[in-house]
Structure 1
Amino acid sequence: MVKLSEMSEKEVINIRDGVKIGFIYDFEIDLENGNVVAVIIPRPGKILGLFGKNNDLIINWKNIVRIGTDTILVDMDIE
């Protein structure tokens, strides 16, 4: 089992192209059943949630392929 706080310390990598996407800074949670629905990663140009457009990358939980020791692998097209 992995704690949400531990997931924020892991780098997210897209397995389609090997690109390092960044680090999770927030989670979307379904309050009715307590499940994580998505993870949220800040896009370039946004520093600590300030001074930038709200163009966060939202990754649905179903796109997470594996949660490893140091990384989280996702499989998705990023526009």
Structure 2
Amino acid sequence: MTLHDLSEKDVIQIKTGENLGRIDDLLFDEHAAKLQSVILRGRGHLFGLLGYEEDLIIPWESIRNIGTDVIMVDAEPLPAQHRTKRCQ
């Protein structure tokens, strides 16, 4: 499976059923030669004109199942009101 294959799947939080987004990047530990986590870029507000939510980093160990359409994770995302905006 490639990063492109992973990026086409929605990431779903198992406990709440919330769609967290899609994988945009991976963190790789070059010393241990293993994947550390996946990165979901923060969602834009008004096409990014009003900033972005903070990126969500999910440890690789939190991924419970990779299906044909979705990736199920057991990770607690920060509530939207506590996430800070980033500007690009």
Same fold? TM cut 0.5? yes
2:75 aligned partner: 76
1:23 aligned partner: 22
Cα root mean square deviation, aligned: 2.2
Structure 1: gaps (5+ residues)? none
Shift of 1:5: 2.1
State the alpha-carbon separation in 2 of the partners of residues 78 and 57 from structure 1. 7
1:42 aligned partner: 41
Structure 2: gaps (5+ residues)? 79-88
Task: Provide the identity percentage.
Answer: 39
In structure 2, do the counterparts of structure 1 residues 54 and 20 end up closer, same or farther at CA, with 3 Å as the change threshold?
A: closer
Flag the structure with larger Rg. 2
For normalisation by structure 1, the TM-score amounts to 0.82
State the alpha-carbon separation in 2 of the partners of residues 71 and 35 from structure 1. 22
For normalisation by structure 2, the TM-score amounts to 0.75
2:31 aligned partner: 32
Q: Which runs of 4+ in 1 moved over 4 A?
A: none
